[in-house]
Amino acid sequence: MDANNTALVRARDLPIWKGQVTPEPLAGGITNVNFVVEDAGKRYVVRIGDDIIVHQVMRFNELSASRAAHAAGLSPAVVHHEPGVLVIDYIDSTPLDEAAVRDPAMLERIVPLIRRCHRQIPEHLRGPALMFWVFHVLRDYAAALREGGSAHVVKLSDLMVRADRLEAAVGRIDVVFGHNDLLPSNLLDAKLPDGGERLWLIDWDYAGFNSPLFDLGGLASNNGLSEAQERWLLETYFETPLQDELWQRYQAMKCASLLRETMWSMVSEIHSELDFDYAAYTAENLSRFEAAFEDFVNI
C-alpha cells in the first residue's frame, strides 16, 4: 500500500467519526497528505503527517500553534489530534493565489492578519515552543544535502557564503511569533453569512518565534510583490516611514526566505515520498533567489 492509500485508511478509520466516512483528497499539500471528510453534516480537514526531522517539523509544535492561532481568531478549530493526525474544522473558502495576494485591496486585509499572528498568538500559546531561525535552517539543510548525496552539493559552498552575508546584513532582530510559511494557498478568503469577508491563516508546520521580517519577506517573495508594494508593506506593518537601514535588512531576510524555500525543495527531492515535482520547484525558487540576491547586492 502506497503512502497516499495508507494515509486515506488512517483518515477513514479515525475513532471520532459518528458514521462511515469517505475521505476526499485535498490538493495542494507538499508536506502532508490532506483530506476533506464529511461526517454527520459537518466537514473537516484531516492532515496526515508525522514529524519531519529533516525539515524541523515537529507535530507537537504544529498542534500548539494551531490551537493558539484559533484562540487568536486566525485559524480553524482543532477537533482531534493523535500521533501523525490533525483534524480541524473545514472552512468554506477560496485559497489565494499570487495574483490575489498582489491585489492592493487584499494586501490591506493581509497586513493586519500578519500583525495579529505576530502579536496575539503568544498570548494563547501553551507548552514548549520552537524558534525558527532561517540561517540555522539553511546550515542544517546544507548538512542534510551533503549527507544525502544530493546533486545540488556543488552549489552549496557558494550558497552558504551568501547565506552568511545575508545573516550579517539582517543584524539584530525583534522577536515575534511567526507563521514562517506565507505561501498564497495558506491564506483563505471566506464569505460570511452577512455578506462580509474574512481571511484565515492555516498550516502551522513551521510556526515559531522569529523576526517579523521573515514573514514580510516571505509574503513578498512568494507572491511577486513589486518594490512599491514592498515599501508600502513595511511602512504599513511598522507604522512608520521606511528608513534605508530597515530596507536593507528586509531585503536580506527576503533573500534568506527564498534561499530557504529553494533548499527546502532540494532536501525534499531526496527525502519526500509525496507526489510532487520538487525538481521544478527547486529551479523556480533558485531563479527567484538569484534575482533577489542581485537586487540586494545592488542596494
Domain ranges of the chain: 3-89, 94-297
What digits encode the pLDDT tens for the residues 20-38?
999 999 986 677 899 999 9
Amino acid at 152: H
CATH topology for the 94-297 domain:
Aminoglycoside 3'-phosphotransferase; Chain: A, domain 2 (3.90.1200)
Cα distance between residue 232 and residue 110, in whole Å: 13
pTM higher than the cut 0.85: yes
Q: Is 68 exposed, middle or buried (0-12, 13-18, 19+ CB in 10 A)?
A: buried
Q: Tell me the pLDDT tens digit for each residue of 101-159.
A: 999 999 999 999 999 999 999 999 999 999 999 999 999 999 999 999 999 999 999 99
pLDDT of residue 2: 67
Residue count (the chain): 299
Q: 154-173 pLDDT, tens per residue?
A: 999 999 999 999 999 999 99
Q: What is the dihedral of CA 203, 204, 206, 212, to 10 degrees?
A: 110
Fold for the domain defined by 3-89 = Phosphorylase Kinase; domain 1 (3.30.200)
Cell of 1: 500500500
Q: What share of the chain is helix, strand, coil (3-state, %, to 5)?
A: 55, 15, 30
* Model pLDDT, residue 180: 98
Give the integer Cα–Cα distance in Å for 50 and 59.
Answer: 7
- In whole angstroms, how far apart are CA 55 and each of 2, 212, 268? 22, 21, 9
Residues contacting residue 116 through CB under 8 Å, at least 6 positions apart: 72, 73, 74
